[in-house]
Amino acid sequence: MSRVKKLYTTSKKLTIIMLAFFVLLILLIIRLGFIQFVQGAELKEKMYNQLITSRLVDPSRGTIYDVNGKTLAVSAPVDTITINPKSIVVLKGGKLDEEATKTLKEKVAKAFSDIFELDYEATLKKVSSENSYETIIRKVDKDKVDTLKAWMKEEECSSGINIEEDTKRSYPYENLASSLIGFCGNDNQGLYGLELYWDNILTGTPGKVVTSQDAFQDFIPDENQTYIPAENGYDLTLTIDANIQAIVEKYLKKACIENGCERGGNVIAMDPKTGDILAMATYPDYNLNTPFEMPSYLKEKDWKKMSSEEQTKTLYSVYRNRAVSDTYEPGSVFKVISAAIALEEDKASTDKAKAYYCKSYETVSGIDIDCAHRIKHGYQTLRDALAHSCNPAFIQLGQKVGANTFYKYYDAFGLFQKTGIETAEENGSPIFWNVDKVGPIELATMSFGQRFKITPLQMITAISSVANNGMLMKPRIVSEMKNTDNGAVTTIDPVQVRQVISKETAEEVLSMMETVVTSGTGRYSQIKGYSIGGKTGTSEPDPGNPDEGLTFSFVSVSPVENPEIVMLVTLYNPTKGNANSVGTPIAAIASQQMLKEILPYMQIPVDSTNNTSRNATTLPNVTNKTVAEAEKILKNAGFTCSTSAKSDELVTEQFPVKGSQLTKGSIVKLYTETENTRVSKKVPDLMNKNLSQVKEELKKRNLNLNVTGSGIVVSQDPLPDTSVEEGTIIKITMGK
């Protein structure tokens, strides 16, 4: 081929290549133009949807406080880890690499199990699931989430792993008021008690954030970000006093264990003037932070023997606030109401001689109904009959009053309907006969509190109206709601329901209740230096359910001349020793133990000449003072301070609490916002030791002492090996 021809051929090829290049370039420009101007909006939207995430912003659940501002329930920010198992894969050439995917899933499962201390096999099963969504772990604290994020970046593994904002509910005082407060589920929804009843108020309203995120789920700020803030839940302030609640729970537990109360017990303390619930306790209780674990009162071997159904049933029974949800026969405590009705209707007078006659039983329609103690009381006044808890006398009184009048007042006292207390599970179905079915036997038994059922809350609410000059108050458990977003406070005022009896009648009944304590069946509830009114009660089991056993109760009012507290103690089916005998004063004894600490704490005046504790001094209140000021006050009063806080910090809590009776030299623990760590100590066995030995044992443990009597220790409270907080008062009785 000639040189010219070769050049021509080469030139032609170059021309074709150039033409092809220009054609391709034109096509590319056309394609880019098509993408930019025709598909641009659609593709931009797709890209934006891939980058943009829309997440709900959970509101912060409101905090629950006691009347003094102590935190009873609080929410803290945490995270929940979820996965999309189908997204945890390895692709090669657009196809699934099964071997590499298997290895990746094993690596992810191993990381989860190591970081969150989970079972590896169970975690791997979730990661390998065919489901589109699996929850790995809920309520994870920030430090572990940070560890996971660091692992994800280091391993370049983020696809399918989700970190979702969440909150965790915690209860600083664990078992305190557990049946009243209740707890939340995994989704922060209230399940029981106040958490359930006030759920809508505590929960708030979720917000929303719409923004871009990178592969590691970190936000990328841009101008398209949209943020709708959450409306946080309201804080609640209760009428409950945590200190009174703790005292009540301590002695309720003691009474139930010592007397073998197979069905437990409950206590309600109320301010009769406002209807405020000062304490509401049920035993057995449970730890609010671990509500699905074995209750502490059970032994592990017994728990493991139960089937899952039995375990669930046991847990539900512990959750139930029996003080408001369960009905019981009130027994002779109800004689207070019968007496009040008879006096108000002028069917009786307090001290009329020979008004009633007791021959140890009363015959009604051919049936002999025994007196409570099977004692022949002879002729009595109404005051005597209440002090003796005499059934025949109250049967005779009931016959004078009549069923229709009784029922009119039962309705006025609020016994036929709910009290309206603002917590979950209140029982609105008391058990009474229809009034037209009340015959002589039914009239006789209901006059002394048997064969009908009401709740403990209904009982104490009715008694409190007597202590409040005859005015019935609606029980109040929440006093304030606070909007945490703007600080606005809504006060829930006390509610007067109705005047049930006159002030004069109420005063007469209180006078008789004081006689019950000074010289009647309630003498075990006496506290020197304080005026106490009370009434014992023992109710037999329902004939249709004999396994219920006996129910013992005691209602107390103090001070009688100006009541500031009414308390009802109820103990179910005691089985130890003589505790299951009619008339045993176990509820009165428990009430006395509680009030002996509660009344000084409430700073109710006491006659110091009648103080039974040797060399005891009342502990002053130093809260809301600086540590330096508090130390000076306590030192001048003869006490020793213990705190690690700085001198200019404010004292938020002291232990023991104000009003406690302490010997000189006792240790007082001071706590502040920053220094509030509690230290527990085991109570030593002090039995048969002399006073110097006792002081030495307690001093080593930073525990305080309250002494009654002289000689050697014959009883102590709390019992040996009980775990208590430093500064706890150990009460000992000394004798021969």
Give residue-wise pLDDT tens across range 563-588. 999 999 999 999 986 666 776 799 99
Average pLDDT over residues 723-735: 87
What is the residue whose two structure tokens read 């029982």? 427
Higher local confidence (pLDDT), 584 or 447: 447
> In the chain, count of helices (H) and strands (E)?
22, 36
51-55, 278-282, 478-482: segment of lowest average pLDDT: 51-55
Q: Where are the beta strands (DSSP E) in 84-218?
A: 91-92, 95-96, 134-140, 161-170, 204-205, 207-213
Beta-carbon-side half-sphere exposure of residue 205 (alpha carbons within 13 Å): 5
Mean pLDDT of the chain: 88
Most confident of 88-102, 221-235, 256-270, 623-637: 256-270
Type of residue numbered 562? N
Residue 43 above 90 pLDDT?
no
| Residues in CB range of 94: below 8 A, 6 or more apart | none
Which residues lie below 8 Å from residue 32, measured CB to CB, with a gap of 6+? none
- Specify the fold of 326-537: Beta-lactamase (3.40.710)
Distances (CA, A) of 392 to 309, 404, 478, 719: 47, 20, 42, 41
Cα angle, residue 361 at apex, residues 360 and 365 outer, rounded to 5°: 170
**Mean pLDDT, range 256-270, rounded to an integer:** 95
Instruction: Please state, in angstroms and rounded to a whole number, the distance separating the CA atoms of residues 594 and 130.
Output: 59
**Residue % of the chain over a pLDDT of 90:** 53
The model's pLDDT over 284-333, given as tens digits with 9 standing for 90+, comes to 999 999 999 999 888 888 999 999 999 999 999 999 999 999 999 999 99
For the segment 400-429, the average pLDDT, to the nearest whole number, is: 95
Burial call 222-231: b when 16+ CB within 10 Å, e when fewer: eeeeeeeebb
Q: What is the DSSP letter of 670?
A: E
Structure tokens, 419: 């009290």
329 vs 49, which has greater pLDDT?
329
CA dist 273 and 440 (Å) reads 37
C-alpha to C-alpha distance for 209 and 228, rounded to whole angstroms: 6
The mean-pLDDT minimum among 287-291, 654-658, 696-700 falls in 696-700
* pLDDT higher than 90, residue 611: no
- Residue-wise pLDDT for 119-129, tens only, equals 989 888 888 88
Residue 597 phi/psi, 5-degree rounding, is -100, -35
Cis check: omega of the bond before 600, within 30 degrees of 0: no
- Give every CB contact of residue 464 below 8 A, 6+ residues apart in sequence: 270, 272, 275, 472, 473, 566
CATH code of 53-175+206-235, in short, is 3.90.1310.10
Domain limits of the chain? Answer: 3-38, 53-175+206-235, 326-537, 611-735
Q: At the top level of CATH, which class does the domain 611-735 belong to? A: alpha beta
Could you tell me the pLDDT band of residue 25, with boundaries at 50, 70 and 90?
confident
Cβ-contact 360, 368 below 8 angstroms: no
Q: Which two tokens stand for residue 398?
A: 């009931």
Between 450 and 733, where is the model more confident?
450
Tell me what pLDDT residue 612 has. Answer: 43
* Angstrom distance (rounded) from CA 567 to CA 562: 15
10-15 mean pLDDT: 74
Least confident stretch, 364-368, 490-494, 562-566, 573-577 = 573-577
Q: Would you place residue 213 in the very low, low, confident or very high pLDDT band (cuts 50, 70, 90)?
A: low
Residue 610 pLDDT grade (very low, low, confident, very high; cuts 50, 70, 90): very low
The pLDDT, as a whole number, for residue 383 is: 93
